[in-house]
Amino acid sequence: MEDREQIVILQQYIPGILVELRYATEQNFTGKVIYDFSEACLRKGTADKLAAVQQILQKQGLGLKVWDALRPVEAQFVLWQVVPDARFVADPHHGYSNHSRGNAIDLTLVDADGRELEMPTGFDSFTPQASRNYMGISAKARENAMLLQQLMEAQGFLPNPHEWWHFDDAEQYSVYRGPMPARLGNQ
């Protein structure tokens, strides 16, 4: 396996990044715990790009907070059962989510104290307001969402048009079927 394909734990790999994996709690659209780990992981190649975004933001007194990263394939089936809408949840019957490849990330911006900045909606708001082209949001929310999008795109991430918080690394990887973070140990 090439170095860029290795799985890294973001909390160990990217200084200052905050992680609050929503699917490791009941604080998500299903109301259920979807997976049993709290470490956010990505492919090293993708994590390197995310680290560059974090570094730029830190110079501005800001940072990133991760809500979801590498996700087990089995978790995708659970999410699809609750929201079978391909605009918001990848259909596991027709391929795999990039979350299961380790090259997709759900995240937001935070200030120096870790407080989330105003954004168009909350996480997993499967509404028109979550769309990148929705106009009925505050100027501040639009500005913050655009800052996140511009920085992510500059590092090679592709924005999901229906979810302001979701980005895919343009570099593709195979589906990750190895141990999940709770079983990875220190890298």
- Asked if 163 is an active-site residue, the reply is yes
Q: Which of 2, 39, 163, 171 is catalytic?
A: 163
Contacts of 34 (CB under 8 A, 6+ apart): 23, 24, 28, 71, 75, 78, 79
Rg from Cα positions in the chain: 15
Alpha-carbon distance values, 93 to 80, 109, 171, 182 (Å) = 9, 32, 22, 26
What phi and psi values does residue 90 have, to the nearest 5 degrees? -65, 135
Element (H, E) at 18: strand 18-19
Residue 112 has, within 13 A of its CA and on its CB side, a CA count of: 4
Pair 99, 145: CB distance under 8 Å? no
Question: Which residues are known catalytic residues?
Answer: 163
